[in-house]
Chain A
Amino acid sequence: QQPVQSPQAVILREGEDAVINCSSSKALYSVHWYRQKHGEAPVFLMILLKGGEQKGHEKISASFNEKKQQSSLYLTASQLSYSGTYFCGTAYNNNDMRFGAGTRLTVKP
């Protein structure tokens, strides 16, 4: 039931774009995205609910395709501060969460 994230790792230069995907085999109730920097706790980025909505947060946005049970995180014009590991969290009801294995993003100058 753990969602599948891809890619596992990505290296970018400042200003480049990236897409991180999250797929589930079950119908989704909500999708969360978090970023974790080394040695720190995960920090919330955004949450998407059923309905195929897209959300934005500065230059980071996400989409949720309910029919395909997929979500994608879009990072545009990446900055050094975007480096970290990104996790999608999927919920199939209001109770339990399942997180993907993470995508390690490295942004180089």
Chain B
Amino acid sequence: EAQVTQNPRYLITVTGKKLTVTCSQNMNHEYMSWYRQDPGLGLRQIYYSMNVEVTDKGDVPEGYKVSRKEKRNFPLILESPSPNQTSLYFCASSFTGTLYEQYFGPGTRLTVT
């Protein structure tokens, strides 16, 4: 089944404790992206990747890091999480770029206390 998977689905952590949210797709997509969703603000892009080893900042990259060492994986790293990063995070992928539909993962609900 074609899908985007994220882990963990729920995470509660404390300020400053490094964490990684994994994202994997099995569709051989070149383009992958991370979004955060907050009430009233919709989806805001954090980082995107056009292909392996190619990543770039989206709208709200501060406090986040990403890497794309393999085509299928695109982990999101929070080196020192803060309470304002409490949010619902979605990973998405598409065949290539924004000319194609994006497939979203199930989401990761992160709470930073």
Contact = CB atoms under 8 A, between A and B. Distances in A.
Interface size class of A (residues with CB under 8 A): 20 to 34
Given A41-B106, A42-B90, A96-B56, A47 B101 contact: yes
A2 B4 CA distance: 25
B99 A30 contact: yes
Contacts of A98: 45, 59
Contact of A41 (B48, B90, B96, B99): B90
Contacts of A89: 43, 98, 102
Interface string A33-77: 010000011111001010000000000000000000000000000
A44 B106 CA distance: 14
A81 interface: no
A32 B40 contact: no
B42 A2 contact: yes
Contacts of B35: 99
Interface of A: 1-2, 5, 29-30, 32, 34, 40-44, 47, 49, 87, 89, 91, 93-102
